[in-house]
C-alpha cells in the first residue's frame, strides 16, 4: 500500500515535469516569432471591404510566406489616427509600421518619428522606381524619403446629368470657358454650377494648377511670385467671379449650414463637384437611383491638373523589429498585395499594376487618366499652416473680391513657413 502511494507520487512528479518541459519548449518556439504592429485608417468597420481584404487575405498570406513574423493590425478612424500619432510620438509608444496620410509624412519626419526608408531599405530605389513620381514625392523631406506610396487617388469632376440638362446643357463643363458659359444658365434654374467644402489646397490647387499657376516654386522654397503670379491670380479669380455670380454656394467659403457636396450633387442642387473614387460606394448606398458621371477636371491655360491624394507606408524610428517591418512594407508594395487592395477600392501606386486597374473596376479609368498629370501638395512639415493660410486667402478673395491683395499677403506669410 505504502509502496503503491510512492509509485503514484513518483508518477505525478514525472508527469508534472514532462508538462513543464513541453511548455518550456513551446515558449522557446514562440520566441523566434516577431510580432509587428501596423496602424492604419482603412476603415473602422470590420465588415468594410478594405478590412476584409486586409485581415482575411493580405495579412494571412504575408504570415504564411513569412512564418517568423506576425502582424497585428489596428484600425483607426481617419481623424483620430493623427491625434493618436501625435500622442504616441510624445509617449514613445508608436507601432512598427503606419499607413499615413501623404500630407502627414513630412510633419512627423521632422519630429524624427519616422525612419529614413531610403537609408534603411537596401532595395528602396527599385521599389520607389515602380511607383508614381507624384505619390513618391510626398515622402520626401530634407534630402531623404521617409516612406513609400501605398495607395493613391485624385479628384475628378463629378456631375449630375439631370441638373445640367434642366438648364439645356448637354455636356459637362470641360474648360474654364465652359464654366463661365454654364454658370448663368444654371443660376437661372436655381442650381449652383460647382460646389466644394472648403478652400484649402486639396480644394483649390486643381484650379490653380489647371489655370497654369502654382503655390510655390518647383523646389518648394518660395511662394511669392508664384501664389500671387498673374496666372494664379487669374485662376483664383475664376472662383471669385463664379462665387460673386451666385454659381458657387457659401459652403465653399466655410458655411457649415450649407448643403454638403454629395447631398447637393445627388439632389441636383449642385451640378458639379470635384471628388475622389471613394464617392462611388457612398453614392451607391446613399442615393441608389442617382447615376454618377465623371469627367476630367475642367482645363484652363495649364491643362487639366488635379491633386494627388492617398496614403504612404512608413516605418517608425522607434520600431524594434525593423527587418520584419521592412519585409511587410515590401510585401504591401508587391503587385499581388496592390492588386488585392485595388479590389477593395484602394488605387495601386505601382504603374505596372495600374494598367490592369480598369479590369478590376471600370470607374478607375478616369482617375488613372487624371493621375498622369496630378501633382502633390507642398511636402512640408508646415503644410497644415500653409493650407490654412491658403484657404483663408482664397475664401477672403471670394468674399471681398480683392484676389490680388489676398494672395499677395498669403504668399508673404507662406514664404516664412517654407524655409
Q: Which stretch binds another protein (CB under 8 A): 90-98, 152-160, 203-211, 367-375?
A: 90-98
Q: How many CA atoms are closer than 13 Å to the CA of 217, on its beta-carbon side?
A: 8
Residue 92 lies near another protein (rule: CB under 8 A) = yes
Among 86, 334, 361, 373, binds another protein (CB under 8 A): 86
Nearer to another protein, 73 or 253 (CB): 253
Given 81, 113, 164, 324, the residue binding another protein (CB under 8 A): 113
Q: How far is the CB of 269 from another protein (least distance, A)?
A: 8
Triad 284, 158, 51: Cα angle to 5°: 45
What is the nearest approach in angstroms of another protein to the Cβ of residue 168? 24
| Half-sphere exposure for 103 (CA within 13 Å, toward CB) | 16
Stretch that binds another protein, among 22-30, 105-113, 239-247, 299-307 (CB under 8 A): 105-113
Tell me the closest approach of the beta carbon of residue 110 to another protein, in angstroms: 9
Q: How far is the CB of 371 from another protein (least distance, A)?
A: 28
Closest CA to 349 of 102, 68, 111, 43: 102
Nearest by Cα to 294 from 313, 310, 280:
280
Which residues, in sequence order, are CB contacts of 18 under 8 Å at separation 6+?
Answer: none
Query: Judged by CB under 8 A, does residue 295 bind another protein?
Result: no
Minimum CB separation of residue 384 from another protein in Å reads 5
Per CB under 8 A, the list member of 55, 66, 373, 392 interacting with another protein is 392
Strand extents, DSSP E, 196-305: 270-275, 293-295
Q: Which of 60, 112, 168, 281 binds another protein (CB under 8 A)?
A: 112
Size of the site for another protein (CB under 8 A): 26
* Of 72, 77, 120, nearest in space to 96 by CA: 72
State the Cα–Cα distance between residues 326 and 320, nearest whole angstrom: 12
Q: Which of 387, 402, 411 lies closest to 243, judged by CA? A: 402
Tell me the closest approach of the beta carbon of residue 141 to another protein, in angstroms: 14
Which residues, other chains included, contact 412 with Cβ-Cβ below 8 Å and sequence gap of 6+? Answer: 223, 224
Q: Pick the closer one to another protein by CB: 89 or 342.
A: 89
End-to-end CA gap in the chain: 91
Say if residues 311 and 131 touch (Cβ distance below 8 Å).
no
Q: Quick check: 405 binds another protein (CB under 8 A)?
A: no
Residue 179 is inside which H or E element, if any? helix 176-188
Residue 316, beta-bridge partner list: 114
x/- binding map, residues 369-388, to another protein, per CB under 8 A?
A: -------------x-xx---
Question: How far apart (Å, rounded) are the C-alpha atoms in residues 241 and 197?
Answer: 18
Binding status of residue 144 toward another protein by CB under 8 A: no
Helix or strand holding residue 337 (H, E): helix 335-342
What residues numbered 233-272 form the site for another protein, per CB under 8 A? 250, 253-259, 269
Rounded CA separation 190/62 (Å): 54
CB of 170 to another protein, least distance (A): 28
Given the complex with another protein, which of 71 and 236 has the nearer CB atom?
236
DSSP string spanning 366-378?
HHHHHHTT-B---
83, 171, 323, 402: which one binds another protein (CB under 8 A) = 83
Least CB distance to another protein at residue 317 (A) = 9
Q: Which is nearer to another protein, 52 or 250 (CB)?
A: 250
Least distance in angstroms from the C-beta of 189 to another protein: 16
286 binds another protein (CB under 8 A): no
User: Is 90 among the residues that bind another protein (CB under 8 A)?
Assistant: yes
Binding residue for another protein, selected from 139, 396, 403, 413, defined by CB under 8 A? 396
**Residue 360, C-alpha cell as written in the block:** 478590376
Q: Which residues does 222 contact at the CB level (< 8 Å), separation at least 6?
A: 216, 415, 418
Q: In angstroms, rounded to a whole number, what is the distance separating the alpha carbons of residues 198 and 391?
A: 7
Contact residues for another protein, defined by CB under 8 A: 83, 86, 89-92, 107, 111-113, 250, 253-259, 269, 382, 384-385, 392, 395-396, 399
Amino acid at each position: 500500500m505504502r509502496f503503491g502511494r510512492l509509485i503514484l507520487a513518483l508518477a505525478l512528479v514525472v508527469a508534472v515535469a514532462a508538462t513543464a518541459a513541453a511548455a518550456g519548449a513551446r515558449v522557446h518556439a514562440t520566441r523566434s516569432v516577431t510580432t509587428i504592429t501596423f496602424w492604419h485608417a482603412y476603415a473602422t468597420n470590420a465588415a468594410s471591404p478594405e478590412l476584409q481584404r486586409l485581415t482575411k487575405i493580405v495579412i494571412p498570406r504575408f504570415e504564411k510566406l513569412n512564418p517568423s513574423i506576425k502582424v497585428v493590425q489596428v484600425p483607426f478612424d481617419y481623424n483620430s489616427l493623427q491625434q493618436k500619432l501625435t500622442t504616441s510620438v510624445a509617449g514613445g509608444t508608436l507601432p512598427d509600421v503606419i499607413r499615413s496620410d501623404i500630407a502627414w509624412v513630412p510633419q512627423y519626419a521632422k519630429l524624427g518619428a519616422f525612419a529614413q526608408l531610403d537609408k534603411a531599405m537596401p532595395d528602396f530605389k527599385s521599389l520607389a522606381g515602380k511607383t508614381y513620381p507624384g505619390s513618391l514625392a510626398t515622402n520626401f523631406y530634407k534630402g531623404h524619403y521617409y516612406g513609400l506610396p501605398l495607395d493613391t487617388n485624385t479628384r475628378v469632376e463629378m456631375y449630375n446629368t439631370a441638373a445640367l440638362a434642366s438648364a439645356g446643357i448637354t455636356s459637362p463643363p470641360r474648360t474654364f470657358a465652359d464654366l463661365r458659359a454654364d454658370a448663368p444658365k444654371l443660376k437661372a434654374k436655381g442650381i449652383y454650377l460647382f460646389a466644394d467644402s472648403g478652400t484649402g489646397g486639396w480644394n483649390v490647387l486643381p484650379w490653380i494648377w489647371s489655370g497654369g499657376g502654382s503655390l510655390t516654386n518647383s523646389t518648394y522654397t518660395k511662394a511669392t511670385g508664384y501664389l500671387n503670379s498673374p496666372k494664379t491670380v487669374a485662376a483664383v479669380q475664376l472662383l471669385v467671379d463664379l462665387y460673386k455670380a451666385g454659381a458657387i454656394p457659401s459652403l465653399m467659403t466655410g458655411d457649415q449650414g450649407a448643403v454638403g457636396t454629395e447631398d447637393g450633387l445627388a439632389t441636383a442642387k449642385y451640378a458639379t463637384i470635384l471628388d475622389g473614387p471613394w464617392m462611388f460606394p457612398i453614392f451607391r448606398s446613399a442615393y441608389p437611383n442617382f447615376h454618377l458621371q465623371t469627367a476630367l477636371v475642367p482645363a484652363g491655360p495649364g491643362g487639366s491638373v488635379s491633386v494627388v491624394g492617398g496614403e504612404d507606408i512608413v516605418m517608425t524610428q522607434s520600431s524594434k523589429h525593423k527587418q520584419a517591418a521592412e519585409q511587410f512594407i515590401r510585401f504591401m508594395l508587391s503587385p499581388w498585395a496592390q492588386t488585392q487592395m485595388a479590389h477593395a477600392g484602394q488605387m495601386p501606386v505601382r504603374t505596372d499594376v495600374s494598367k490592369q486597374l480598369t479590369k478590376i473596376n471600370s470607374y478607375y479609368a478616369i482617375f488613372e487618366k487624371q493621375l498622369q498629370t496630378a501633382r502633390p501638395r507642398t511636402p512640408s512639415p508646415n503644410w497644415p499652416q500653409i493650407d490654412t493660410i491658403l484657404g483663408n486667402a482664397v475664401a477672403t478673395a471670394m468674399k471681398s473680391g480683392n484676389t490680388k491683395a489676398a494672395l499677395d499677403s498669403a504668399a508673404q506669410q507662406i514664404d516664412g513657413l517654407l524655409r
